[in-house]
Structure 1
Amino acid sequence: MGCRVTSVNRTPIQNRLGDLATLLKFLKVYPYSEKRAFETDIANLWKYGRDEEAVKRLKRLGGCLLLRRPKGILDLPPRHDLRNQIDLSLDERQLYEGIRSQALAKIDEALAQANPGTKSHSFVNVLQRIEALRMVCNLGLHYHDRHEIDTTLHVSPTSENWETLAQRTVVFSTWRMTLNLIEVGLKQASIRCLRFDGKAPQKERQAVVDRFRRDPSIKVLLLTLSCGAVGLTLTAACRAYLMEPHWNPTLEDQSLARIHRMGQKKELTTIRFVVKNSFEERVIEIQDFKRDLASVLLNPQGESGFSTRNKPLEVS
């Protein structure tokens, strides 16, 4: 007796078109359950510059396979998405440029390697340097003592004073070290906060969320993106900060959806921090590419401006 296979999935495409190929294989969507057929009919069209035809085929495929509930049909309060662009100080810029030069040198070294094994190791070093660039954007001059952040540090406010956090707020970051620094600043400003990251035991996590919801004197909840993206209801908050752009924009969207969802009674304001003239701007470009690619599939009846190809990695 035959059976039908379905998939409940909020993110059929997270990073690249190959994510969809894997899903089609699981769903046994003939003929695209075979990777070669998917590449021939859809993926390779982008490689050869036939973008418009690839978009049309992907839209037709999505129209046949997807049953989705757009968020727009829900009666939710407005959400205001803001982007706060930050300038590095002179000392921070000097630190950033030093690490950037190291990253460029590692890229040149990796490209010059003839041995595949050595080249692979060199590219790992490149990724580590890129991660360091992102952390300098996040931590500034605290980058050097990032493993020793404690209450003895003096943390100055960024573009907004701590005292403006009168509204219930959720702060998201990729890194625990960033949350460490923010937590120190909040305590110095006598602002009560709770924290929820990968070190929190599973059985205690819901208790943290419940306490944040019930106690209005707790103004801030600190969350890592990996913990905040799924399974939580954070409608007690009406303000959110994303401390840095993440490679995967879907993870950001899912985290913000924990706040802007059924049960939310107030307007939501989100603030994304981006450092000017830094690698973070390149991450934003990658986010836009991924969002455009996903929109082709998730909005098969709508217009899509997606007609770009993969761009080479740049360290700016």
Structure 2
Amino acid sequence: MEKRTPKRSEKNLVLQIRDLKKTIGRTTIIHGISLDLYAGEVFGFLGPNGAGKTTTIRMMVGLMSITEGEVIINGHSVRKNFEKAIANIGGIIENPEMYKFMSGYDNLIHYARMVPVIPKGRIDEIVQLVGLKDRIHEKVKTYSLGMRQRLGLAQALLHSPTLLILDEPTNGLDPAGIREIRMYLRKIAAEENIAVFVSSHLLSEMQLMCDRIGIIHHGKLVSVDKVNNLVDKNQQMLVEFKVAPLEKALLFFRENYPNVQATIKGHSLVITTKEEKITQYTKLFVNHDFTITGISGEQKTLEDKFLEITGGELHVSNDSAHSE
């Protein structure tokens, strides 16, 4: 499904996080995070293990107290008006738990009884949305993990929230299941016009799934930008020159272009640059008697940008309560 960037205005502003801080004892875990989230967009929350992702989410949904700052959902403060704020949230913070001996449909019926004012026909509507129409009357114990995740999404969406919060929604899924969840999250954001906040360690999937991404590092929100801006900013790409002699070529290039990033990788010189500069650099090497046997290039990925921002920390995985 093609990505779309929603029109932003105060009218469709769903989530406001303002100077959010968490301190435990004398240690500050979260350092004044601020961000906005709008209806119809999928926002990705990325960070190395222990960066503060799950701590932030737990404060957003009231599972952990806020030391300072505000989380405001549809104009309601989680700290000051918890019931009204939380009524606008649907979420899967851990793996969705279902009654496996019951059908998917009966699980949703059971959940619907606990939530006031769910319109008639809403269950069928949501089942269609998450693609479980053909299997909804089968017992949950026969479902794959991906189907259980989709049933969890259906449960989280029953009460028509304006904000869907998901912590590692693709954890444990195979590639096909991951693709399914990605597809349905984009569909949900578009068709339900809700804001989707996703925490995940899968960089490539976040790049495909999200409209914008926030990168958290050591409890600080160090970058928030559209995915395209993060991975294609200034149309930078990694260009590999198979050039000899290699180390001499690196020193020579740095003398001529001290502000351009260049490094040795294996048997190649890797330069971070724009595509239009490749010819210029090639001529420079050839005209100064360097031998070039190959040139290849690729656009920077979200992984490359993530490594730049976090100083090389690529170990992104599930956060645990004690690690944050």
TM-score (norm 1): 0.31
More helix per residue: 1 or 2?
Answer: 1
Which one has the bigger strand percentage?
2
TM norm structure 2: 0.31
